[in-house]
Amino acid sequence: MKILYGTTNKAKLQAMKNALKNMDIQLIGLNDIEKELPVISESGNTPLENARIKARAYYKAFGIPVFSCDSGLYFDEVADSDQPGLHIRRVNGIELTDEQMIEHYAALANRYGGRITGRYRNAIYFILDENRHYSSMSMAIATEPFILASKPHTKRVEGFPLDALSVDIATGKYYYDLDVKDVSTSVDDGVRDFFGKILK
């Protein structure tokens, strides 16, 4: 089955292809669509509301099975006024580059003692057809808790800037120094389960 993942982020598309690689799904992204993309205002108050807004807009525009995802980033030790929440990349109305994000979040961690504990709460909204819509924001698709450090790793992966600051709680090592770990792989089982139940 061909399914559109509503993203132009190549790294996110590849990560989702990896998560769903053993399923009978041909995953394409918005860059594979040869039509004009709709302009979408992500005006929701939660990751799930934003995922729904995007999925509905893409389904209306292209008429094929589509899902969209959205995330919020939340830290245990951080004041409400400093929580990124839905605005992980957008700070004070400005869309940050990958390097600007690393600088911003390293400074945030530094303000709170150099290490803060975070978790991404993820949402997914999937439209199979007009009558079949499915969604989740369960903890099964949230990342495991991780430490965000004030000193970045030297490695960079385009589209995943905060992985350069992410430290595994159990080992104290940067995720980039572990064999098969990053902040997104912990949600793969939950994503596979979500699609598996719908498409079985």
Catalytic residues: 70
Question: From CA 186, how far away is CA 140, in angstroms rounded?
Answer: 9
118 Cβ contact list (under 8 Å, min separation 6): 73, 74, 75, 76, 145, 146, 147, 148
Question: From CA 70, how far away is CA 89, in angstroms rounded?
Answer: 12
Residue with tokens 């993820």: 122
Contact predicate 24/92, CB 8 Å: no
Neighbours of 176 (CB within 10 A): 17
